[in-house]
Amino acid sequence: MTELQINTTQNVNINFTAASVGERILAYAVDLIIKIAYSVVVFQLLFNLFSVERFMMGWDDWSRIAFILIFFLPVIFYTLVFESLLEGQTLGKRLLKIKVVKIDGYQASFADYIMRWFFRIIDINMMGGIIGLVTVIVNDRNQRLGDISAGTAVISLKDKITINHTILEKLSDKYVPTYPSVINLSDNDVRIIKETLLTAKKSLDHVTLMKLKSKVEEVIGVKAEGYDTQVFIDTVLKDYNYYTQSM
């Protein structure tokens, strides 16, 4: 498996497992089957059940093509629509538990999905997908041209997850929060903070811990003087859980 190191906006690194070539091919195959099934159903409905050829009698060829093409737009925009709606996943990617993310650790934007979708013409549709396959194989982040252009990568979500790998924190019923301003953080911010804290503690990286503390202080607008770095960040994580779970 290829380890994918993502550098976050906090200037710290988080390790993910890049989706393998096999996983991406299988996800593509699932999506292709879905698109073929849809096309067959639409074709049968249009030409066998509703006999649209009679409706189009007298039309020129371009008008016929344009009319029929409307019904196949879901096939053309399938990947773009689903990755946008499912935050980086198509139905095939969801089944294979892989996902598109930005290489800065944040959620990809609609513009990123458009870029990836556009480059499918080169990566997948040209030369039978050889260009995309070769690019993924030789790229150290398993990126195709669309990923490189959009600044994205496809990661695996199959890692074993425990509470230590999520933003969840165990809180007692009597817990009293310290920093109300933690609500300025997002779930993704908290996930990155916790991943960075765990990694830095494991490697005894005090420099990264101090950078993390300074960044968190800046975002939530507090100055935790006198607080131990780990205690401060643990408190922030617990406070965030307290306030978000109370909403």
Tens digits of residue pLDDT in 77-94: 999 999 999 989 999 999
Give 42-55 as a DSSP string: HHHIIIIIS-HHHH
Place 164 in a pLDDT band, splitting at 50, 70 and 90: very low
What's residue 13's pLDDT?
Answer: 54
Mean per-residue pLDDT, 154-182: 69
pTM, whole model, 2 decimals? Answer: 0.63
Mean per-residue pLDDT, 33-37: 96
Residue 218: Cβ within 10 Å count: 10
Mean per-residue pLDDT, 15-31: 90
Token pair of 218 as six digits: 């800046």
Place of tokens 């994580």: 237
Domain regions of the chain by residue span: 3-156, 164-246
What's residue 228's pLDDT?
Answer: 82
Amino acid identity at 117:
W
The conformation of residue 18, written as its DSSP 8-state character, comes to: B
Place of tokens 């924190």: 169
Contact (Cβ atoms closer than 8 angstroms) between residue 14 and residue 4: no
What tens digit of pLDDT does each residue of 96-137 get? Answer: 999 998 887 667 899 999 999 999 999 999 988 999 999 999
Place 3 in a pLDDT band, splitting at 50, 70 and 90: low
Contact (Cβ atoms closer than 8 angstroms) between residue 31 and residue 90: yes
